[in-house]
Amino acid sequence: MVDFNKKIDRSKNDSRKWAGRKSYFGKENLLPMWVADMDIETPNVVVEALKNKADQKIFGYTMENERYIGSLVNWVEKRHGYKLSGNKIAHSPTVITSLNLLIKTLTNEGDKVMIQSPTYPQFVKQIKNNNRKIVINELVEKEDRYEIDFIDFEEKAKDSVVFILCNPHNPTGRVWEREELSKIAEICVKYGVKIISDEIHSDLILDGKHISIASLGGGVENLVYTCFSTTKTFNLAGIQSSFVVFPVIKEKEEFVEELSLIGVHEPNSFCMDMVISAYNDGEEWLEELLNHLRENIEFAVDYIEKNIPQIRVKKPEATYLLWLDLRKCKLDDEKLKERLVEGGGLALTMGGAFMSHGFARMNIACPRYMLEEGLKRLKKVFG
Ligand SMILES: Cc1ncc(COP(=O)(O)O)c(C=O)c1O
């Protein structure tokens, strides 16, 4: 059994979440529950693989081996029942790198790229960075979850070149169901809209089943560029590794060439051993992690419902992020942030970053003692 509740210390970890408190929030002494990484140690099997790599003591240029891509193919088949073709998969250091390059190569300046709000902030940043136009299909809040307004989606798909799908969805925690994905696929096929499917959170399913939109068939497989990664699942974002699955081999080769033009070639020395060990030997750890996250979510949602009526929260179906609705407080984001930071000593990501004001995102991937402290601070401010 892994002890996910043991005390952790990131004081020498050079972590953005902890070391970045002063620069992002103006204060050192805050409980950081913002950046989407985990205050949880990576599995021992990965630590051992990294130590073994370090023992080689030589870290020159690398060359991609077959086991690297193969570990993703096996993993996705085992976990999600979807068979990928290894020769259509490219390595990319990060999903954000892939988003940037895919937007650049799939669209022209001024083209429309559709996203759904609330949205992961980098979608906006990378579209703007490439001088493309952002089109927003707002998700609709229903009693117990967010849903897609398909009338609006279809209207906006008509002149969009690319749609960026976040599956599962950050920050709302929705796991898109087969019916919803099929409808998206049908509309995108009808209007020839290409889909960048960011599936970085696909291993963190708490309730439901992950379905890759490219697996649906019916023509959509020719339009989808899927991003996968070990880094959210196993808490490895600082080492960097990700994959893009292309519809055709030629496009993969063009992407690899684009990467090389910006000086990115071959995975870093630790990346391949890290990914292979995580995918080949990390499944048992992941199952235990998912139970820990479910328990933390259960605890947090129950605590908020009983103690902080000012806050509305729904259980996410995936991810370790709670999407807190603070609109009852009737304060703007700046004021909300000030109260959280000054009054509670708590660092959360404010809704404005996701294009949804009056919300905050709280990361509960931490030991229970830290979660309890975070909730106490939340109660102190809004209870
Ligand atoms: C939806 C989504 N995509 C991409 C990323 C970042 O991935 P990477 O670190 O590989 O760029 C995140 C990180 O929070 C995310 O939530």
- The whole-number pLDDT of residue 383 equals 86
- The whole-number pLDDT of residue 231 equals 98
Domain boundaries, the chain: 16-32+283-382, 58-281
Tell me the CA–centroid distance for residue 96 and ligand 1, in Å: 6
- The whole-number pLDDT of residue 144 equals 87
Q: Which CATH class is domain 16-32+283-382?
A: alpha beta
3-state helix/strand/coil string of the chain: CCCCCCCCCCCCCCCHHHHCHHHHHCCCCCEECCCCCCCCCCCHHHHHHHHHHHHCCCCCCCCCCHHHHHHHHHHHHHHHCCCCCHHHEEEECCHHHHHHHHHHHHCCCCCEEEEEECCCHHHHHHHHHCCCEEEEEECEECCCCEECCHHHHHHHHCCCCEEEEECCCCCCCCCCCHHHHHHHHHHHHHHCCEEEEECCCCCCECCCCCCCHHHHCCCHHHCEEEEECCCCCCCCCCCCCEEEECCCHHHHHHHHHHHHHCCCCCCCCCHHHHHHHHHHHCHHHHHHHHHHHHHHHHHHHHHHHHHCCCCEECCCCECCEEEEECHHHCCCHHHHHHHHHHHHCEECEEHHHHCCCCEEEEECCCCHHHHHHHHHHHHHHHC
Please work out whether the CB of residue 237 comes within 6 Å of at least one atom of ligand 1. Answer: yes
Please work out whether the CB of residue 242 comes within 6 Å of at least one atom of ligand 1. Answer: yes
Q: Whose CA is nearest to atom 13 of ligand 1?
A: 36
Please work out whether the CB of residue 119 comes within 6 Å of at least one atom of ligand 1. Answer: no
Atom of ligand 1 nearest to the CA of 96: 11
Please work out whether the CB of residue 95 comes within 6 Å of at least one atom of ligand 1. Answer: yes
Tell me the CA–centroid distance for residue 309 and ligand 1, in Å: 31
**pLDDT tens across 133-142, in order?**
999 999 999 9
- The whole-number pLDDT of residue 143 equals 86
- The whole-number pLDDT of residue 289 equals 98
Please work out whether the CB of residue 198 comes within 6 Å of at least one atom of ligand 1. Answer: yes
- The whole-number pLDDT of residue 312 equals 96
- The whole-number pLDDT of residue 372 equals 98
Q: Which fold would CATH assign to domain 58-281?
A: Aspartate Aminotransferase; domain 2 (3.40.640)
**pLDDT tens across 294-329, in order?**
999 999 999 999 999 999 999 999 999 999 999 999
Q: Using 50 as the pLDDT threshold, list the residues of the chain that sit under it.
A: none
